[in-house]
């Protein structure tokens, strides 16, 4: 059961030292209770208190980390059944499967695509983040893991085998880039307990069905294995979908610990068509899969899944924003137009994209509107004439251009007069309402006389 801020405060040293970057122990305790701070950030709290508070405040879906550095992937940490209740914490991992007995050209192609495919969307870099290596004979897991780490250094690694010795050798080959070791079953659970203790890696548990998975996971937990990823064994869309829902509900609503781990699903084993795999994967991303494994990745399959992932795991209570600043686009100079808009990410990337497409070098001023769009920010009093004028004067744009003409969004036409009073030395020009009309507008633009 979660502890209150006062209960946590009683276990703290009460130094009010501020070394955790929070001024008082009471404020720190309240943030820990709300899940906004980690108890480990207090340098003076006892190990016993850390263990007690950490266990009580841990999310119902345990957070597990695979890999390290740029290759680190985090799964789990989820606290709610539905996104609108709070938010989903860690994005579903997208993994490409490589079998050790595949031909060299196929393996090289998959590794290259895993390394090269990366997309930018509203300022977020998106890519698949795991490579799963299946032990099918042929090359060893250790050799294949080394090959993947060399060819795709930003990928976390999943090693899949029933052979504990092969998994241990593969984990040793990965070094600090600790992989997920998948293959624990009810039959070999004891061997995987020893493997987890020897390697310190996350263990992947496969059940024959939900009941068998619960039995195996419970056994591993009782033996001291804390970090796991679970697989119910379902290999149909309906089965995996239903099992994921049951697992999430049991963990979040009922606090059922054997299912309180991220799930791993295998669209690659549910059909033999990559596009159908993507469709299945899209359903499982939406319904709680911690990791999805695909037989291959192609741009036309990966990009839609990444967009879905981005939309689902964006915090619904916190708009995506860009920093308040001056953004030069396509190399502007002192005679280039100056435009202003809000800092809602989607607005910024649409507007900047249209300016870039016009090939007219421009200065784009981004005003902090707390992530609100133009009209919403104006209605909320965050994009008014006085605030715009204050920002223009302090932004530094006066030193970058010779002219004094500011282009405002067409939707702000009603504040033109107010803005002219606030910025008497500037000419205020009303720009288009729609960003799509900016290229034509900018090509016709000339500084006011």
pLDDT by residue (tens digit) across 249-280?
999 999 899 999 999 999 999 999 999 999 99
Q: Which residues contact 396 (CB under 8 A, 6 or more apart)?
A: 326
pLDDT, tens digit (0-9, with 9 covering 90-100), for 64-113: 999 999 899 999 999 899 988 888 999 999 999 999 999 999 999 999 99
Residue 116 and residue 323: Cα distance in Å, rounded? 28
Residue 205: is its pLDDT beyond 60? yes
Residues 134, 135, 137: CA angle, nearest 5 degrees: 135
pTM given for the model? 0.79
What percent of the chain lies above the pLDDT cut of 90?
A: 77
HSE-up of 378 (CA within 13 Å, CB side)? Answer: 14
- Which residue bears the tokens 């990009």? 303
Residue 166: is its pLDDT beyond 70? yes
pLDDT value at residue 20:
87
Q: Can you say how many angstroms the Cα of residue 172 is from the centroid of all Cα atoms in its chain?
A: 28
Residue 1: is its pLDDT beyond 60? no
Token output for 8: 């946590």
pLDDT value at residue 316:
80
Q: In this structure, are residues 13 and 49 in contact, taking their beta carbons and an 8 Å threshold?
A: no
For 122-190, give the DSSP string.
TTEEE---EEEEE--SSS-HHHHHHHHHHH-TT-EEEEE-S-HHHHHHHHHHHTTSPPEEEEE-TTTHH
Q: In this structure, are residues 53 and 11 in contact, taking their beta carbons and an 8 Å threshold?
A: yes
Residue 422: is its pLDDT beyond 80? yes
Per-residue confidence at 306, pLDDT binned at 50, 70, 90? very high
pLDDT value at residue 338:
96
Query: What's the rounded mean pLDDT across residues 9-21?
Result: 88
- Which residue bears the tokens 């991303």? 285
Biggest CA–CA distance in the chain, Å, is 84
| Alpha-helical regions (H) of 267-298 | 274-286
Going from the C-alpha of 374 to that of each of 143, 291, 339, 370, the distances in angstroms are 54, 37, 13, 11
pLDDT, tens digit (0-9, with 9 covering 90-100), for 42-53: 888 888 888 787
pLDDT value at residue 56:
66
Query: What's the rounded mean pLDDT across residues 177-206?
Result: 96
Query: What's the rounded mean pLDDT across residues 129-147?
Result: 92
pLDDT value at residue 449:
62
Of 404, 408, 434, residue with least CA distance to 419: 408
Partnered with residue 427 across adjacent β-strands are 405
Per-residue confidence at 30, pLDDT binned at 50, 70, 90? confident
Query: What's the rounded mean pLDDT across residues 28-36?
Result: 79
Give the mean pLDDT of the chain. Answer: 92
């Amino acid at each position: 059961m979660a502890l209150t801020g006062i209960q946590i405060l009683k276990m703290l040293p009460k130094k009010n030292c501020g070394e955790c970057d929070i001024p008082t122990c009471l404020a720190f305790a309240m943030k820990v209770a709300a899940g906004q701070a980690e108890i480990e950030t207090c340098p003076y709290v006892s190990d016993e208190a850390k263990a007690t508070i950490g266990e009580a405040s841990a999310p119902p879906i345990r957070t597990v980390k695979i890999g390290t550095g740029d290759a680190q992937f985090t799964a789990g940490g989820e606290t709610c059944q539905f996104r609108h209740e709070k938010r989903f914490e860690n994005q579903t991992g997208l993994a490409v499967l490589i079998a050790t007995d595949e031909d060299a050209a196929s393996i090289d192609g998959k590794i290259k695509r895993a390394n090269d495919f990366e997309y930018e969307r509203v300022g977020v870099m998106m890519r698949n983040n795991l490579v799963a290596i299946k032990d099918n004979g042929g090359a060893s897991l250790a050799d294949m893991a080394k090959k993947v780490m060399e060819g795709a250094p930003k990928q976390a690694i999943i090693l899949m085998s029933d052979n504990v010795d092969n998994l241990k050798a593969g984990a040793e080959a990965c070094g600090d880039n600790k992989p997920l070791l998948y293959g624990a079953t009810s039959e070999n659970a004891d061997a995987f307990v020893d493997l987890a203790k020897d390697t310190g890696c996350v263990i992947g548990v496969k059940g024959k069905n939900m009941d068998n998975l619960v039995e195996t996971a419970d056994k591993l937990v009782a033996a001291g294995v804390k970090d796991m990823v679970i697989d119910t064994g379902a290999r149909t869309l309906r089965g995996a979908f239903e099992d994921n829902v049951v697992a999430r509900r049991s963990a979040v609503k009922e606090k059922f610990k054997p299912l309180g781990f991220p799930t791993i699903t295998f669209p690659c084993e549910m059909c033999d068509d990559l596009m159908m795999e993507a469709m299945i994967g899209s359903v499982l991303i939406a319904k709680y899969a911690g990791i999805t494994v695909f037989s291959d990745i192609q741009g036309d399959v990966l990009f839609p899944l990444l967009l879905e992932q981005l939309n689902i795991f964006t915090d619904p209570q916190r708009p995506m924003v860009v920093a308040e600043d001056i953004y030069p686009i396509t190399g502007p100079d002192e005679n280039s137009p100056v435009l202003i808009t809000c800092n809602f990410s989607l607005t910024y990337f649409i507007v900047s994209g249209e300016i870039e497409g016009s090939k007219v070098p421009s200065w784009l001023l981004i005003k902090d509107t707390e992530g609100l769009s133009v009209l919403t920010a104006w209605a909320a009093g965050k994009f008014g004439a006085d605030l715009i004028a204050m920002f223009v004067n302090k932004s530094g744009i006066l030193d970058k251009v010779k002219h004094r003409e500011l282009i405002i969004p067409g939707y702000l036409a009603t504040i033109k007069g107010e803005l002219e009073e606030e910025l008497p030395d500037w000419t205020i020009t009303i720009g288009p309402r729609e960003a799509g009309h900016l290229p034509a507008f900018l090509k016709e633009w000339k500084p006011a006389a």
